[in-house]
A and B are shown apart, each in its own frame.
Chain A
Amino acid sequence: MPHLEDYRPLVGADTVEELRLLGGFLAGKSVVHVNSTAVGGGVAEILSRMVPLLHELGMDTRWEVIKGGEDFYAATKRFHNALHGDVVEVGSKDYRVYESTVEENLPAIDLRADFVFVHDPQPAALVRARDGRGGHWIWRCHIDLSRPNPGVWAFFRPYVERYDACVFSAPPFAQRLPIPQALIAPAIDPLSDKNRDLGEEEIRSILERLQIPTDKTIVSQVSRFDRLKDPVGVIEAFQKAKPYVEARLVLVGGTADDDPEGAQVLSEVREKAAGDEDILVLCLPPTSHLEINAIQRASAVVLQKSIREGFGLTVTEALWKGKPVIAGAAGGIPLQIAHKHSGILTHTTDGAAYWLKRLLNEPEYAKKLGENGREQVRQNFLLTRHLRDYLLLFLFLDRGRADFIPLRSKEG
Chain B
Amino acid sequence: MKLARAKEPFHFYTRLSLTFLTGLKARTVTELAEHLKTAPESVVYQHTHRFLQAHQYLVPEPPNDFAYWVSDMVQDEKLGERLAAIDTVRFSSLEELKSALVKTIEEYLGGGVAPRTVPEGKEFHFMRAVRFSIPTRSVACDLAEFADCLRKVSISSLYLHVFEARLRPPLGVNDFSKWLDGQLGEGALARKVANLDPYAQTMEGLRSRILKMVEKRLKEGSHAAP
Question: Would you call B127 and A379 a contact (CB within 8 A)?
Answer: no
- B85 CB–A CB distance under 8 Å: no
Interface string of A374-412 (1 = CB under 8 A from B): 000001000000001100110110000011111111001
Which residues on A sit within 8 Å (CB–CB) of B19?
182-184
Interface string of B102-144 (1 = CB under 8 A from A): 0000000000000000000101010111111111110000000
Question: Would you call A181 and B23 a contact (CB within 8 A)?
Answer: yes
Interface string of B22-56 (1 = CB under 8 A from A): 11000000000000000011100000000000000
- Chain B, interface size category, equals 20 to 34
Q: How far is A181 from B22 in the complex, measured between Cα atoms in Å?
A: 7
- Chain A, interface size category, equals 35 or more
Which residues on A sit within 8 Å (CB–CB) of B202?
none
- A15 CB–B CB distance under 8 Å: yes
- A171 CB–B CB distance under 8 Å: yes
Q: How far is A412 from B135 in the complex, measured between Cα atoms in Å?
A: 8
Which residues on B sit within 8 Å (CB–CB) of A13?
152
Which residues on A sit within 8 Å (CB–CB) of B157?
14
Question: Would you call B23 and A21 a contact (CB within 8 A)?
Answer: no
Enumerate A25-81 residues with CB–CB distance to B below 8 Å. 25
Which residues on A sit within 8 Å (CB–CB) of B135?
21, 407-409, 412
Q: Is the interface of B mostly helix, strand, loop or mixed?
A: strand
From B16, B22, B130, contact of A174 by CB (8 A): B22
- A6 CB–B CB distance under 8 Å: no
- B201 CB–A CB distance under 8 Å: no
Question: Would you call B133 and A405 a contact (CB within 8 A)?
Answer: yes
- A103 CB–B CB distance under 8 Å: no
- B93 CB–A CB distance under 8 Å: no
- A198 CB–B CB distance under 8 Å: no
Question: Would you call B23 and A388 a contact (CB within 8 A)?
Answer: no
Q: How far is A184 from B19 in the complex, measured between Cα atoms in Å?
A: 8
Q: How far is A13 from B155 in the complex, measured between Cα atoms in Å?
A: 11
Question: Would you call B57 and A379 a contact (CB within 8 A)?
Answer: yes
Q: How far is A25 from B16 in the complex, measured between Cα atoms in Å?
A: 14
Which residues on B sit within 8 Å (CB–CB) of A171?
21, 125, 127
Knowing A393-B18, A396-B18 are in contact, say whether A403-B128 is a contact too (CB < 8 A): yes
Q: How far is A168 from B109 in the complex, measured between Cα atoms in Å?
A: 34
Which residues on A sit within 8 Å (CB–CB) of B154?
14-15, 17-18
Residue of A nearest to B135 (CB): A409
Which residues on A sit within 8 Å (CB–CB) of B42?
403
Question: Would you call A183 and B127 a contact (CB within 8 A)?
Answer: yes
- A176 CB–B CB distance under 8 Å: yes
Q: How far is A402 from B129 in the complex, measured between Cα atoms in Å?
A: 10
From A14, A25, A392, contact of B18 by CB (8 A): A392
Q: How far is A379 from B155 in the complex, measured between Cα atoms in Å?
A: 13
From A175, A379, A393, A407, contact of B134 by CB (8 A): A407
Question: Would you call A14 and B21 a contact (CB within 8 A)?
Answer: no
Question: Would you call A177 and B134 a contact (CB within 8 A)?
Answer: no
Enumerate A142-183 residues with CB–CB distance to B below 8 Å. 168, 171-177, 180-183
Closest CB in chain A relative to B152 CB, distance in Å:
7
Q: How far is A393 from B19 in the complex, measured between Cα atoms in Å?
A: 10
- B156 CB–A CB distance under 8 Å: yes
Listed residue (B41, B125, B134, B152) with the most chain A CB atoms within 10 angstroms of its CB: B134
Knowing A174-B23, A183-B20, A403-B40 are in contact, say whether A18-B14 is a contact too (CB < 8 A): yes
Enumerate A331-388 residues with CB–CB distance to B below 8 Å. 379, 388
Closest 9 CB pairs of A and B: A14-B154, A174-B21, A171-B125, A392-B18, A403-B42, A409-B135, A183-B19, A181-B21, A406-B133
Residues of A within 8 A of B (CB): 13-15, 17-18, 21-22, 25, 168, 171-177, 180-184, 329, 379, 388-389, 392-393, 395-396, 402-409, 412
A-B contact pairs, 11 of them (CB 8 A): A21-B135, A21-B136, A172-B121, A172-B123, A173-B21, A176-B23, A182-B18, A183-B127, A395-B132, A403-B41, A407-B135
